[in-house]
């Protein structure tokens, strides 16, 4: 199916390990986003990319970095994973700053 594809779907890391979460969209959208979802807190924005070549911090950027590799791909990197980063991570994309965001299926990340 067309849409937003996230890899991997599940991952377990040890504290201090690094990891990159991959996201790709095939809808020719300009904007892409990374959110984390924690129990009882809804989704919170980590980073976003309004267009190819730009990235900006969201509400909870500490401990993360992102790369907008091209128009299709937007990756999220944890340089030194911490247990507080255990969460479900969602990537999303939208046509532009007013369009609805379409989400991937999520990556469930556990850090021991």
Partner 1 sequence: AQKVTQAQTEISVVEKEDVTLDCVYETRDTTYYLFWYKQPPSGELVFLIRRNSFDEQNEISGRYSWNFQKSTSSFNFTITASQVVDSAVYFCALSEPTGANNLFFGTGTRLTVIP
Binding site for partner 1 (CB under 8 A): 31, 33, 35, 40-45, 48, 50, 56, 58-59, 88, 90, 92, 94, 96-106, 108
The per-residue DSSP string of the chain comes to --SEEEE-SEEEE-TT--EEEEEEE-S--SEEEEEEE-TTS-EEEEEEESSTT--EE-S--TTEEEEE-SSSBEEEEESS--GGG-EEEEEEEESSTTSPPEE---EEEEE-
The CB-of-17 to partner 1 minimum distance in angstroms stands at 24
User: Shortest distance, CB of residue 73 to partner 1, whole angstroms?
Assistant: 19
Least distance in angstroms from the C-beta of 21 to partner 1: 15
């Amino acid at each position: 199916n067309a849409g937003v594809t996230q890899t991997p779907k599940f991952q377990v890391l040890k504290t201090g390990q690094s990891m990159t979460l991959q996201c790709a969209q095939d809808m020719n959208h300009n904007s892409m986003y990374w959110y984390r979802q924690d129990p009882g807190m809804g989704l919170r924005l980590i980073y976003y990319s309004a267009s190819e070549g730009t990235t900006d911090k969201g509400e909870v950027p500490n401990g993360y970095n992102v790369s907008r590799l091209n128009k299709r791909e937007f990756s999220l990197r944890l340089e030194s994973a911490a247990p507080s980063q255990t969460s479900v991570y969602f990537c999303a994309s939208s046509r532009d700053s007013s369009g609805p965001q379409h989400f991937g299926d999520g990556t469930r990340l556990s850090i021991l």
